[in-house]
Each structure stands twice: as structure tokens, then as C-alpha cells.
Structure 1
Amino acid sequence: MADYDAQPGRDEPLEPSAAQRDADDVGMLAGLRGVAELVADARSVPELLGDVAHFAAVAIPNVDGASTAVLHPPCSVRAVTATADFVETIDKVQYDELREGPCLTCMESGRVAVSGSLGSDARWPHFGGRVARMDVHSALSLPLVVKGEVIGAINAYAKARDAFGEYAVMLGVQFAASAAVSVYHAQLLQSAEARTERLQRALGSRAVIDQAIGIIRSRSGASAEQAFERLTQMSQQDNVKLVTLAERMVDEAVRRARARHHT
């Protein structure tokens, strides 16, 4: 039996027939195949999360709409994608307005959260009633866990009551495990690219600052340390970033050199 946070006091939905299980397994394999292909595909994190939500709706039975969310330490949650407009509305209600709901619960506990009648679910009295009035009654939230840490969640919603039984939960857990790896690798790649970009900017800034120091030295005969101190003083006096001031100085020197060349 799958370990998950079920709605208290509500009976487990009837298990699907053998034929229905076979059909569900086909959807699950299609979703897993799609998510596996994302690992080797150089996509941005938002693009990948959009695909994860799409494939989740394929892999998990009875889903009318799905979404993904990522967790930003220490406790900020950001909804990233939704496969249907009503899911986007639900996410805004959950994260931005009420700050309660199955996704928040599952990310806090690290366990799957399931509800078959949101309107009567005592765990989320405000959220559940609000969503039930939208004619959405079932929810399944699956934490994305890597190395024991929750990095986000997949949320599935259905208009029918008791849409997600134990078999659907099991399929969802399998899908979320694969999806978590894809999301984690995409985040690592994005972080590495951001660090590389910052390093390149830093190297470019250092180069232009060194050029400005050389200009000051050529004009004043100062040492490198004295020229840098002079540049720093000018930056503080003019309330301009050091690299911006250096760029202006280098651009002006280039402009003057070109003007002399054409006279």
C-alpha cells in the first residue's frame, strides 16, 4: 500500500478494473518516456516544468488539469506552469491568497497529499470550499524529492469526486520520482550557466577597470595602486559604479583617439 496523506474519514475509492489498469499503464509509460527525454534536452527550467505538468496529466489517471511548483528556500513557493486555466486560478488561490492547500501540505511534509472531496476536507477549510465552488473536487499533490529534500511538487486536479485512488497515487509517485531528477538536473544546469555568466561579467568588468587604470597612469604618471585609488574616489564622488565610470573613461579615450586619427 502506498504511503500518503489521505483525506481523513473518507473511504478509499474503488480500484480500477484490470482493463482500466492496462490503459492507465499505457498513459504512465508515455508520461515516463516523455519525462525521460527531457533529461538530455537542454531546456530552460520553466520550459521543462511546463513539459512535466503536461506529461503528468498523461501519466496519472483521471486528471483534468495539472501544474508544477518549485520551492525557493526558506519557504517561498512559486507556481510555474499549469495545463488549464482553472488550475492556474487554483494555484493563485493556494499560494498567494490563502496560503493553504494540498501542494503546500505535501511540500512541507514531503508526503503525497490526496483529497477526494475538497469541499469537506478539514485540512484546508478555506481552500477546499473555494475550489469546490469551482466544481473541482479531487486533488493529488506529489512532492518532487531529490536526495531527501523537497524541491517542488506536481499537482493534479479532477472535477470528479474520489478521482485518485491508491493505484493512481502509485503511478503518480513513480512519475514524480523520474520528474524530480529531470527538474533537479535542469536547475543545476541553470545555476551553472548563471555562475558562468556572472564570472564572464566579472572578468569583463576587471578588464575595463584595468584599462581605465592604464589611462589614468598614462596621464598622471601614477602607480597602479594610486590610479585605482583615484578611480575609486571619482566613483564615490560622482555616485557612479566603478565599472560604469571605467567604461565611460575608456569610451572617451577611444573617441578622442579616433578624432585625432581623422584630423
Structure 2
Amino acid sequence: MWQRQDADLAASLAELSQLSNGAFGLTELLTRVAGMAVAAIPGADGAGLTLLEPHHADVIVKSTEFVRQIDDIQYSIGEGPCISAAATGRTVRSGSLGGDARWPRFGPRAGRLGVHSVLSLPLLSPAGVHGAMNVYAHGKNVFDARAEELGELFAVPAAISVLNAQILSQARRLATQLQAALTSRPVIDQAIGILRSRSGDTADQAFARLTTLSQTQHLKLTQVATTIVEQAAARARVRRTDQP
């Protein structure tokens, strides 16, 4: 039996090593990692993965639908094995969620959905905890010490793949933001110039007025600036038309 388990782990690790971060979006790559965890850990019926994103919404994926239901419960009430694993940086295991005193609100609800066993593995790097991987089974006491050992062996390279994917996603996000800033800067400068010509304000004062308009109108700065420029252009066209 152990030979088969070792073979399953080896196969999952080999597949994990072949993942190309550039070939997949962040969510798709995390979903693939969750699926590999199911194959690597004996007894697993499904898995979910939560990636902590600083200054951005956490990314949560699942390998199958029942995992979504379970994870929705723990995140909605702020209690559960994944939250514990991410908070402590330690593996969390339970074979009877319905009666587990660590999660008095989450456990019974998971048990009523027919999910009784969980193995939550933190995704660790030298920089800290980046998230956690939840592996679930419907039966009771499915995950033993051996399953925990295999899970932790899988979680080490999984954390590296996840971290690399996160770094790439953040770099792509920043590049998009920078491109948007470069695209929007000319129209913002034009709007600042128009406001200065009307009021005699400095550039900083005109930009502050533009920012205030953006906040009060609940519009992006670029949208407000575009409106000011378009209105000024429309008035200029009217003046040219009215000239004899």
C-alpha cells in the first residue's frame, strides 16, 4: 500500500514540477495544484486552496463542488481548519469535524453536509505563510499520520509553485496598472491645464480639485478628466461655429 501511495505522490510531484506558470492564469494554476493534492494524498475526495493576497482579495479555488460549499461556510463565519492552518503556519488534521471542539460553529455544519475528515496544510516559504491547502474526505478518520506526512511533502513544492504564480500575477497586474497610467496621463494633464486656465491655480491645486471631483462623483480620475477635456473641446467648437 505504501508503495502505491509513494507512487501517487511521485506522480503528483512530477506533474507539479512541469507546471508552467506562464501557461496558466493564477486561478487555473491553483486549481490544478488542488487537483494534484487530491491525487497525492490517500483518501482525499476533494481539495481547496486559499492564496492570501496582500492589498487584494484572497484567491480561493476548489477541485470539486462540495469543497466550495465547505469553504464558503468557514470563510463566511471566520472559523475552520484552513483559517487555523493559515493563522498558525501548522498542519491541521481532524477525523470528525462534526464533533471537533476547535470549530464549534463550522464543524457541525460540515458534518451535516457529509464531510467528516480534513487535512489543512499551510503554504510556507521563508517569507511566511502564503495560504493554505484543504484536503477533505467524506468518511471519518480518513487521514492518518501517513496521509499528513505525504501532504506535507507535497505542500513544500506546491507552495513554491503557488508563490511563483502569485509573483507573476502581481507583476502582470502592476504592468497593466502602469500601462493604464501611461495611457491616462495625457488626458489628466490636459484637464489640469484647463482647470488652471480657468482659475489660475497651480498644477498641484488643479490636480487636487480633479481628485476631489473624482471622489465626490464616484468616478475614476481618468473619467473625470476625460469629461472636462471633452466639454472644453465642445465649447471651443461652439465658439468657432458662432464666429462670423
Q: TM-score range by the shorter chain?
A: 0.7 to 0.9
> In structure 2, the residue corresponding to 1:145 is in which secondary structure?
strand
Letter aligned with residue 69 of structure 2: T
The answer as to 2:130 corresponding to 1:168 is no
Residues 208 and 36 from structure 1, CA distance in 2 versus in 1: closer, same or farther, beyond 3 angstroms? same
Which residue of the partner structure matches residue 116 of structure 2?
A: 137
Which residue of the partner structure matches residue 102 of structure 2?
A: 123
Letter aligned with residue 71 of structure 1: L
Residues 27 and 245 from structure 1, CA distance in 2 versus in 1: closer, same or farther, beyond 3 angstroms? same
1:1-263 matches, within 5 Å, as: 20-72=1-53, 78=58, 80-97=60-77, 99-211=78-190, 243-248=222-227, 250-251=229-230, 253=233, 256=237
Gaps of 5+ in 2: none
Gaps of 5+ in 1: 1-19
Quick one: distance in 2 between partners of 1:212 and 1:127? Answer: 53
| Higher Cα radius of gyration | 1
Question: RCO greater where, 1 or 2, for CA within 8 Å and sep 6 or more?
Answer: 1
Quick one: distance in 1 between partners of 2:59 and 2:176? Answer: 26
Quick one: distance in 1 between partners of 2:225 and 2:57? Answer: 40
Residues 251 and 162 from structure 1, CA distance in 2 versus in 1: closer, same or farther, beyond 3 angstroms? same
1:233 offset after TM fit, Å? 5.9
Residues 207 and 89 from structure 1, CA distance in 2 versus in 1: closer, same or farther, beyond 3 angstroms? same
1:111 offset after TM fit, Å? 0.6
**Structure 1 contact 78–95 (Cα < 8 Å) conserved:** no
Quick one: distance in 1 between partners of 2:57 and 2:172? Answer: 23
Letter aligned with residue 131 of structure 2: G
**Structure 1 contact 66–84 (Cα < 8 Å) conserved:** yes
Length, aligned pairs only: 235
Residues 62 and 199 from structure 1, CA distance in 2 versus in 1: closer, same or farther, beyond 3 angstroms? same
**Structure 2 contact 53–59 (Cα < 8 Å) conserved:** no
Residues 210 and 88 from structure 1, CA distance in 2 versus in 1: closer, same or farther, beyond 3 angstroms? closer
Quick one: distance in 2 between partners of 1:44 and 1:169? Answer: 29
Residues 77 and 168 from structure 1, CA distance in 2 versus in 1: closer, same or farther, beyond 3 angstroms? farther
Give the % identical residues: 41
1:91 offset after TM fit, Å? 0.8
With the length of structure 1 as denominator, give the TM-score of the two structures.
0.74
Quick one: distance in 2 between partners of 1:237 and 1:119? Answer: 53
Residues 194 and 161 from structure 1, CA distance in 2 versus in 1: closer, same or farther, beyond 3 angstroms? same
**Structure 2 contact 117–136 (Cα < 8 Å) conserved:** yes
Quick one: distance in 2 between partners of 1:186 and 1:127? Answer: 30
Residues 60 and 231 from structure 1, CA distance in 2 versus in 1: closer, same or farther, beyond 3 angstroms? closer
> In structure 1, the residue corresponding to 2:115 is in which secondary structure?
coil
Letter aligned with residue 116 of structure 1: G
**Structure 1 contact 115–121 (Cα < 8 Å) conserved:** yes
- Offset from partner CA, 1:74-121 (integer Å, 9 cap, x none): 9x9946122222221111111113x22211111111110111222332
- Give RMSD over aligned pairs: 3.5
